[in-house]
Amino acid sequence: MLPLSALLLGLLALALAWPVPAVLSRARWPRRDPVAALVCWQAIGLAGGLSIIGALLVHGLSPWGGSLPEAWWAWAQHWFTGELPAQPVRGDHWVAQTLAAVLALELLGVLALALVRTARTRARHRALLELLVHRGVDEVPGVEARVLDSPVPAAFCIPGARPLLVLSSGMVEEFAADELAAVVAHERAHLAERHHLLLLPFVAWREALPVLPAADRAHDAVRDLVEMRADDVALRSVPGPGPRRVLARAIVAAAEGGAPTGALAAGGGVLTARVTRLLDPPEPLPRWARPLAVGAAVTLVLAPTLLLLAPALV
Amino acid sequence: MESLGELERSVMDQLWSRAVPLSAAELRDALADRGLALTTVHTVLTRLEGKGFVRHDDARPRRFAAVASREDHAAELMHEVLGQAADRQAVLARFIGSATPGETEMLRALLADTP
């Protein structure tokens, strides 16, 4: 007999693995409030992992006790005492335990690996940049903007303890001053709000779960939402009467000057979405919508947590 | 006292601009205005070798040369920045990725259509 809490966790995991991400990634409201949507995606990722691993654990350990903490303790002791629980331990219990351990190790391991790998790539880029770039553009207080000699208009930042904001000389020469300010404001928003940390788990889990379409969807949605969020933040510090148009012009100019890619370029479509959003801003969500979304996200994470910690319902 | 990073830049600038292999003593003399000790120059060169920017030959004294030109390094970096690697946006947040030709057309039209 499957414990009810394992069943509920399994159902939650199933919902978070397919229908919920599918609905959220197709919804129109996230572009009206990227912050609320980002909170929801983080909750989906966390709750999804908790519920699938939790479901396997609760089922695997069910012969040892009703609630997970109690069962875990009894299970840990049985390795020393050799006592098997009163209820028979079947093969499927062992399989569930093993799967839970493998999945937990894989998700955490891949995340740790992604952390190490991105840190190493960043360090290599930084070492190279420190030799290549020269101090430039001083109108950006706080963050040092450096100039890299290259005709291709590009801007990027390397997050970290000493963030590095780099503009290509092509961009500095070709772009109008207000467009440049908009680009820098956008990049500074990424740094200030640590967007790389929001994206990293989804990069890692997409690699860990290549068969799961939801992992792909979640990654792409989060990647696009942080861009929209950075646009929103940038608008506050772009000078002039029409900051939206200035930022839109900068995006289009960067797209025109950049190296074109094949028709299947990753992220195709987000540029159009960003520019449309800037030129023809959608109605902001009503005041109650953000608390509602955040409340839903908190509930989503609390539900599997409570199911795991509370004594089994049956 | 200058930071090692600044010294590394100066040494690389010398190696790039002179474009011939230089010994540590020659580098020290080229950077005479900084009053560096020979050991400091060696330290900087060792660090640069460790990072893969400099290599030395087996002559006596050893002469050091840049592994690639400044332009090659810049091009390599831009290639990585603009490349399509899956985790690129998590490693460094670039302003935009690459656009397809069709998308660029569409963006231009969007910009022209709205006042």
Q: Are A157 and A193 in contact (CB under 8 A)?
A: no
Instruction: Name the band, by pLDDT with cuts 50, 70 and 90, for residue A290.
Output: very high
Question: Which residue in B6, B89, B105, B106 has the most chain A C-beta atoms within 10 A of its own C-beta, making it the best mutation to test that interface?
Answer: B89
Identify the closest residue of chain B to A180 by CA–CA distance: B95
Question: Which residue in A197, A252, A256 has the most chain B C-beta atoms within 10 A of its own C-beta, making it the best mutation to test that interface?
Answer: A252
Q: Chain B: nearest CA to A241, how far in angstroms?
A: 13
Residues B56 and B77 reside in one and the same domain? no
Contact B107 A262 (CB under 8 A): no
Residue, of A149 and A259, whose pLDDT is higher? A149
Instruction: Name the band, by pLDDT with cuts 50, 70 and 90, for residue A138.
Output: low
pLDDT given at position A263: 42
Q: How many domains does chain B have?
A: 2
Judged by average pLDDT, the poorest of A18-22, A110-114, A133-137, B79-83 is A133-137
pLDDT higher than threshold 60 for residue A262: no
Residues B50 and B102 reside in one and the same domain? no
pLDDT mean over A199-218: 91
Return d(Cα A186, Cα A208) in angstroms, integer.
30
Residues B106 and B86 reside in one and the same domain? yes
What is the count of residue pairs from A and B with beta carbons less than 8 Å apart? 155
- Give all strands (DSSP E) within B3-115, no chain letters: 22-23, 54-56, 63-66, 93-94
Residues B59 and B13 reside in one and the same domain? yes
pLDDT higher than threshold 50 for residue A39: yes
Residues B91 and B46 reside in one and the same domain? no
pLDDT mean over A17-35: 95
In chain B, count of helices (H) and strands (E)?
6, 4
> Three-class SS of residue B43?
helix
Return d(Cα A147, Cα A254) in angstroms, integer.
16
pLDDT given at position A291: 96
Interface predicted TM-score (ipTM): 0.85
Quote the domain boundaries for residue B78: 70-113
Q: Are A198 and A38 in contact (CB under 8 A)?
A: yes
Which residues 6+ apart lie within 8 Å of A126 measured at CB? A158, A160, A164
pLDDT given at position A144: 60
Residues B62 and B97 reside in one and the same domain? no
Q: Chain B: nearest CA to A302, how far in angstroms?
A: 28
Mean of the per-residue pLDDT values for chain A? 88
Residues B62 and B104 reside in one and the same domain? no
Question: Which residue in B13, B92, B104 has the most chain A C-beta atoms within 10 A of its own C-beta, making it the best mutation to test that interface?
Answer: B92
Of B97, B101, B114, the CB nearest to A266: B97
Instruction: Give A-chain residues touching B93 at CB under 8 angstroms.
Output: 156-157, 159, 187, 190-191, 195-196, 226, 230
Taking the CB of residue A202, how many other CB atoms lie within 10 A of it? Answer: 23
Residues B26 and B49 reside in one and the same domain? yes
Contact B99 A255 (CB under 8 A): yes
Burial class (CB in 10 A: 0-12, 13-18, 19+), A92: exposed
Instruction: Name the band, by pLDDT with cuts 50, 70 and 90, for residue B97.
Output: confident
Which residues 6+ apart lie within 8 Å of B110 measured at CB? A248, A252, A272, A275, A276, A279
Question: Which residue in A164, A203, A261 has the most chain B C-beta atoms within 10 A of its own C-beta, making it the best mutation to test that interface?
Answer: A261
Query: Which of A84, A92, A81 shows the shortest CA–CA distance to A59?
Result: A92
Residues B61 and B76 reside in one and the same domain? no
Contact B12 A127 (CB under 8 A): no
pLDDT mean over B96-107: 82
* pLDDT tens track for A150-207: 888 999 999 988 888 999 989 988 998 889 889 999 999 999 999 999 999 999 999 8
Taking the CB of residue A128, how many other CB atoms lie within 10 A of it? Answer: 19
Q: Are A171 and A184 in contact (CB under 8 A)?
A: no
Contact A260 B77 (CB under 8 A): no
- Looking from the CA of A117 toward its CB, the CA atoms found within 13 Å total 16
Residue whose tokens read 């360090």: A123
pLDDT given at position A81: 87
Instruction: Give A-chain residues touching B96 at CB under 8 angstroms.
Output: 251, 254-255, 258, 271
Residues B40 and B77 reside in one and the same domain? no
Of B75, B89, B91, the CB nearest to A223: B89
Mean of the per-residue pLDDT values for chain B? 87
pLDDT mean over B61-88: 86
Contact B78 A118 (CB under 8 A): no
pLDDT higher than threshold 90 for residue B82: no
Return d(Cα A163, Cα B3) in angstroms, integer.
18
Contact B95 A207 (CB under 8 A): no
Query: Which of A110, A103, A173, A109 shows the shortest CA–CA distance to A137?
Result: A173
- The token pair at B98 is 């690459």
Residues B41 and B75 reside in one and the same domain? no
Residues B16 and B56 reside in one and the same domain? yes
Instruction: Name the band, by pLDDT with cuts 50, 70 and 90, for residue A41.
Output: very high
What CATH number does the domain containing B55 carry? 1.10.10.10
Identify the closest residue of chain A to B10 by CA–CA distance: A131
Return d(Cα A35, Cα B25) in angstroms, integer.
57
pLDDT given at position B42: 94
